Amino acid sequence: MTSRKTIGPTAAGDARERIVLAASKVFAAKGYGQASTREICKLAEVNVASIHYYFGDKASLYRELFTIPEQAVQLPTELDDPTTSLIDGLSAFYQHVMGFVLASESSSQLRLLFLREQVEPSGLLEPDRVGIIGLYHAQLVRFLSLHLELETADSGVHQLAFTLLGMAMVFYVERATVQRLTPGLIGSQHEVDETVIRLVSHASGAVNAERERRQEEPK
């Protein structure tokens, strides 16, 4: 049905790709429910029937966007290197995560889509699916367990990982509010760099607090 051996008539078989690109933009901007197939097709400059022709239906097109992610969800490798210091690891983490808060173009388009699916699940994906946040969280738990010298990760480490995640997530979820209340944090690359430095400082403070908390009540 959709063999790609032979390319289409007009110019190229890129209609399918144009649909995927347009869909990622519209879905990311409006969410699954509010996005209309007609708007996607108009943006992709294809006929409304093309979605059915290439993907079957709207839901399948949406799921298609979540099958690409292997490259999009690339975790910072430094955190899994045992020789990385706490500060360097946190620095790598926040540089990586905050790198997408700028440039709302195609690079971060998918990431926006993933975040939206995480915050407001469409119900179309596998329900037990591990989202981006889950991947970051697992990596942070590993990293923190190492630097807190724990054999097994307990609730405290898990919560600490959520703490570090939340510190960055607020800039995505509340991006508009941050920009309005405090312009100068995520407006330019230089500002983001400054913000990352402070994030690392706050994060290491939290990690140290957790370490001290454990020494007080080793239980």
Partner DNA sequence: TTCAATCAAGCAAGCGCTTGAATTAAGCGA
Partner DNA sequence: TCGCTTAATTCAAGCGCTTGCTTGATTGAA
**Which residues would be at the binding site for a second copy (CB under 8 A)?**
31, 33-34, 118-121, 128, 131, 133-134, 137-138, 155-156, 158-160, 162-163, 165-171, 173-174, 176-178, 180-182, 184-185, 194-195, 198-199, 201-210, 213
Interaction partner, residue 133 (a second copy, DNA, none; CB < 5-8 Å by kind): a second copy
| Amino acid sitting at position 125 | L
Output 46 or 178, the one with its CB closest to a second copy: 178
Q: Which x/- pattern over 69-108 shows residues binding DNA (rule: CB under 7 A)?
A: ----------------------------------------
Output 7 or 30, the one with its CB closest to a second copy: 30
* Residues at the site binding DNA, with contacts judged by CB under 7 A: 1-4, 6-10, 13, 15, 35-39, 46-53, 56-59
